Structure formats: structure tokens, C-alpha cells
Amino acid sequence: MKTKFIFITGGVLSSLGKGLAAASIAALLKARGLKCTIQKLDPYINVDPGTMNPFQHGEVYVTEDGAETDLDLGHYERYIDVFTSQKNNFTSGSIYHRVIQKERRGDYLGGTVQVIPHITDEIKNAITSLAGDEDVVLVEIGGTVGDIEGQPFLEAIRQLRSDLGKENVLYIHLTLVPFMGTAGELKTKPTQHSVKELRSIGIQPDIILCRCARELEKDIKSKIALFCNVDADAVFSAVDVDNIYKVPLKFYHEGVDQKIAILLKLPAKNAELAPWEDLIEKLEHPSGEVSIGIVGKYVDLKEAYKSLHEALIHGGVANDVQVNLVYVNSEDLTRDNVAKQLKGLDGVLVPGGFGSRGVPGKVESIRFARENKIPFFGICLGMQCACIEAARNVLGIEGADSEEFHPDTEEAIIYLMTEWFDFRSQCMERRNKDSDLGGTMRLGGYPCVVKHDTKAWDAYGEENISERHRHRYEYNQKYMAAMEEQGYVFSGTSPNGELVEIVELKDHPWFLGCQFHPEFKSRPMRPHPLFREFIKAAKQRAKGKK
């Protein structure tokens, strides 16, 4: 079967949930036995979101091959359980960068470089490069129809229907149907205007998904179909749900996948949704609950910790408990109020981050968890803070710090390694404080060797693992022996032992920090081992309090 392409656009306003809609549709198609992948095209000029503030953009999701991408790729991987790569996320910046590089090399033979055809051709190449042996490629266009920076992407996907054939291309438009409380009715006019905007540039949607607070009545769907020139059975409700994992089931009951199959002439087969039904059953009927404190500095924007949030939920599913997330602003934590701020928690998690802001509060939360035997999980900077806390409060090294926060510190527990062996590129890597920020990070999947008879071994059950990284600084092994004497165990290292990947503490219910980001590899039907064991320890603590 020739690869089919589904393009998903959004109208009226942003944050309607195009990523979740794309992931849910892909999940349904996969459940029908089709091989799928998804791509995100972002109109912003940044080459990638790696240097963007989480308050503006949310989480930066890291792929196995080290690409810093949009958080929607996390939805894609979690919903269809595949690995994405750099080819799954392009921005205007990356597209223009490619075209300019070609122009500088003389690839255009001195011709005038223009948006059409050069930029649009580059976009089309990025899209079609995913075809391969995939049955269906879903492509989400970021932003909202009408945004000036999104016009080249829309023009490119308009052209692709002619290039690939009508039978191989489908357009889905996600729009808003708001409920006006004063009038007591749903309003279709925003949808009509959004589709009109889309049609003005030559794209006629085949399916309209209507984001709404309540199910659309048949007469409203018929009205939208009439004014937007789509089939009467091609308008679907995308109703607000209390759990994002219900979306595939909602779409299935609406008949979204069936309509797609008819329009694209896909093999007739019912979706096998038992795993999704089982997941929802576990989420809605847990046998208990735990409260987990997330101590970070981006707590005012939950999207900054999206994968972390989901991985904790997955860990709850594995342990048959509801996970209540308590976000604690690390900038507000002090030694005087930490007991009050963390009171009643069954577990404390300190996530990754960059910069010194909020670090003292993170260190205090780790001390409190260590001394009070509260299950603790430190990720990336969270592990580094745990090592700094150990050096200060257990080893008694008063000036213990990280070169990231204080470059001139004499007791650099965490430091910038200037040279190390990169197991992915199989060569020596070098960097210094003046190197470009992005170029000095370990990004993507790296191997780790797990030590037997440790908490890490209990979780993984295997010696050789691979996890994804996104960090610049490393643990200084100069302090390893002293920490080991105090009960710390370095249970995960790089294959040559040069880099510390996991550290844990003996004689504690569960105290573990990892240099990598395990949340990126957690799946709803396949929770990550470390999150599973962390929530298991939190569950045991919750039981002990009763």
C-alpha cells in the first residue's frame, strides 16, 4: 500500500489539542493494524525549542537520536509507542536554515531563492522523507490558520495533494465550537470563519474535529457540514475529557477512524482497543492513592513537566494507585518552611532544569526527604542536587557546589568535563565554558551499565540499558569514595565507568537520582521501571501512615 498522508491543522485559537488529536488518531490507526508515524511542523523561527524558555514553550522533548523537539512528540511516542527522531519535528527556522545552506553552496545555480518553490519544496521533502515503509504519516501543522509564519507550511501541504494524488492525502481541521452561557447555545460561526480562511488558500478540509465542552447535536453537525462544504458524516465532536487517555476511545465511538479509512481507502478492520479500555479502567478505579511532591521552578506552567507528569501517572497505573501531584515552587522553599511545604507527601521528586534559580530549595527538599526517610527521586539536575546535598550535609564540605552555579567554586561536586568518550559517536568529545550551549550537552540515548544488588537493578532487571540525556555538567568522581563510605551507591555508570549515571542511598526506603531523563521513555501501557519502583515505594509509605 502506498503511504497515505493526513494533515492536521488548527483554527480559531491555539492550544486546542492538535497534538493529542493527532496522537489519538494515530493510536486508532495503529489499533487497526497499520504502521504509523507522526510529524510536527512548527512555524516559529527558532531552529528548535532547545534554547526556549519553558514558560513560553513548555517542555523540550528529547528523542533517541538527540533532537530537542516539541513536547507533542512526547504525546506521539506515548500513544503509538514508537521512537521519533529529528525527522519528526521541523520548524521554520530549520527549514530556512537548510535552504540558506543550499544557497551558500550554490545548489540553486545562482537562481533567485524564493518562498515558492524553494521553501515549500524543502517542507515537502521533510514531509515525504518519512514515507518509507509507513502505511500512514500524520503531520500536525503548529499554530493557527491565518498566522503569517504558518503560510509556507499550508502552501506546501496544499501542493502535496496534487503531487501525491487525492486518494493519498487527507486534511483534518481542528477548530473550536464555544458554548455561550448567556445564550445557552453552541456557536458555529468561529468554525465557519476558520474553514473559510483555510479554503481561501486552497485547502478544503475533508474532516472537521470540533473541540467543544459538550457533544454536538446532529443539527449542529449538519449546519457545520453545510457551511464548510464537508460530508455530513465528516463532522465530529472532540469533547473535553477529564483524562487525555480517553481521547482515542472518544474518537473511536464518534467514528473518526472509520471515516478516515473510507476516505483514504484503508484496509477494513476494526480497531483493537482492549489495551486502552483496560488502561482507563485502571485509571478510574485505583485501589489507593499517593501524593507526590514535584519540587521545581517551572511549577506555574505544568506543560514544562509534561512527560514527567505522565510518567508518574504511568507509575500509578503499574501500582494500582491514583497519583496526586503536588507542585512545590523550589524558590519558596527554605530550611524553616520545608517541613510545612512537604508535609503529608508520600514521595519527593526533584526534576531537571538549568541555572541556579531555585536550587537552594531543591537541596533543602532533598535533605528533608533523606533525613525523614521519604522516597526520593532526582532526575538530571535533581541527581546533581542530591550529590551536592550529600557533600554539604553528610560529608561536611561547606562550599560544595556546581560549576554551573558558581564557576569558581573550589569544591566542584558537579563540573564541566572538558573531554570524554562519546559512545554514540564513538569518538572523543571536547568542550569548555566558552563552547556553544547546545553543542556542549549530552543529548539523546546513551548506554548505562547497572550494578547488581541495587535499587536500580531491582527496577531494570538487566545490566545494559540506554536512557536519554539532556545536560551539560557531570558528577565529579573525585568525591565518589567519600560518598560511598557514607552509604551512597553509584549503581549506574557509562560502560567505561567515566560518567556517573545513577546514584542511590543505602538504608533508605527509596532514594535514587539519575543523570538521564527516564520520563521520555515511559508509556501508559509500559511504565518506566524507575517510575514504577518510585511509586511502589510511595505506596508503601502511604500504607504505613494509615
Helix or strand holding residue 57 (H, E): helix 54-57
Contact, 71 vs 89, CB < 8 A? no
Q: What does the block give as the cell for 34?
A: 497499520
pLDDT score, position 279? 97
Is the pTM of the predicted complex or chain greater than 0.85?
A: yes
Please check the confidence at residue 437 and state whether its pLDDT lies above 60.
no
Can you identify the CATH homologous superfamily of domain 286-545?
A: Class I glutamine amidotransferase (GATase) domain (3.40.50.880)
Please check the confidence at residue 425 and state whether its pLDDT lies above 70.
no
Please classify residue 225 by burial: count the beta carbons closer than 10 Å to its beta carbon, then call 0-12 exposed, 13-18 middle and 19+ buried: middle
Mean per-residue pLDDT of the chain:
93
Please check the confidence at residue 431 and state whether its pLDDT lies above 70.
no
DSSP letter at 115 equals I
**Sole residue written with cell 545513577:** 502
Give the contacts of 18 (CB within 8 A, at least 6 positions apart).
Answer: 8, 9, 10, 72, 140, 141, 142, 174
In angstroms, rounded to a whole number, what is the distance separating the alpha carbons of residues 481 and 18?
A: 50
What is the phi/psi pair of residue 175, to 5°? -140, 175
CATH 3.40.50.880 residue window(s) in the chain: 286-545
Q: What residue type is 423 in one-letter code?
A: F
DSSP letter at 111 equals P
Q: How confident is the model at residue 430 (pLDDT cuts 50, 70, 90)?
A: low
Q: What does the block give as the cell for 70?
A: 516539541
Contact, 422 vs 490, CB < 8 A? no
In angstroms, rounded to a whole number, what is the distance separating the alpha carbons of residues 356 and 406?
A: 9
Please check the confidence at residue 508 and state whether its pLDDT lies above 80.
yes
- Mean pLDDT (whole number) for 382-402: 95
Largest Cα–Cα separation, the chain = 76
What is the residue-wise DSSP string for 411-441?
A: SEEEE--SEEEETTTTEEEE--TTS-TGGGS
Say which range, 261-270, 309-318, 455-464, has the weakest mean pLDDT.
261-270
Radius of gyration over alpha carbons of the chain, in Å?
25
CATH 3.40.50.300 residue window(s) in the chain: 4-278
pLDDT score, position 434? 58
In angstroms, rounded to a whole number, what is the distance separating the alpha carbons of residues 376 and 189?
A: 51
- Mean pLDDT (whole number) for 143-163: 95
Say which range, 41-50, 87-96, 438-447, 467-476, has the weakest mean pLDDT.
438-447
Please check the confidence at residue 346 and state whether its pLDDT lies above 80.
yes
Contact, 404 vs 542, CB < 8 A? no
The share of the chain scoring above pLDDT 70, in percent, equals 95
Please check the confidence at residue 317 and state whether its pLDDT lies above 90.
yes
- Mean pLDDT (whole number) for 98-127: 94
pLDDT score, position 116? 94
pLDDT score, position 183? 77
Burial 470-499 (b: 16+ CB within 10 A, else e): bbbbbbbeebeeebeeeebbbbbbbeeeeb
Total residues belonging to the chain: 546
Please check the confidence at residue 422 and state whether its pLDDT lies above 80.
no
Helix or strand holding residue 470 (H, E): strand 464-471
Residue 432: HSE in the Cβ half-sphere, 13 Å Cα cutoff: 1
Domain spanning 4-278, CATH class:
alpha beta
Contact, 430 vs 419, CB < 8 A? yes
The number of angstroms, rounded, from the C-alpha of 183 to the middle of its chain's C-alpha atoms is 39
- Mean pLDDT (whole number) for 462-485: 95
Choice between 249 and 301, residue whose per-residue pLDDT is larger: 249
In angstroms, rounded to a whole number, what is the distance separating the alpha carbons of residues 52 and 56?
A: 7
Q: How confident is the model at residue 420 (pLDDT cuts 50, 70, 90)?
A: low
> Which residues are annotated as catalytic?
380, 517, 519
Within 143-255, residue ranges assigned H as helices are 151-164, 189-200, 218-228, 247-254
- Mean pLDDT (whole number) for 132-141: 95
Please check the confidence at residue 330 and state whether its pLDDT lies above 80.
yes
In angstroms, rounded to a whole number, what is the distance separating the alpha carbons of residues 326 and 239?
A: 27
Integer CA distances (angstroms), 271 to 22, 90, 243, 435, in order: 16, 30, 20, 50
Q: What does the block give as the cell for 59?
A: 517542555
pLDDT score, position 423? 66
Q: How confident is the model at residue 441 (pLDDT cuts 50, 70, 90)?
A: confident
Q: How confident is the model at residue 65 (pLDDT cuts 50, 70, 90)?
A: very high
Q: How confident is the model at residue 184 (pLDDT cuts 50, 70, 90)?
A: confident
What is the residue-wise DSSP string for 362-379?
A: HHHHHHHHHHTT--EEEE
Cβ atoms within 10 Å of 48's Cβ, excluding its own: 20
Q: How confident is the model at residue 15 (pLDDT cuts 50, 70, 90)?
A: confident
The share of the chain scoring above pLDDT 90, in percent, equals 82
- Mean pLDDT (whole number) for 26-47: 95
What is the phi/psi pair of residue 304, to 5°? -65, -20
Please check the confidence at residue 417 and state whether its pLDDT lies above 90.
no
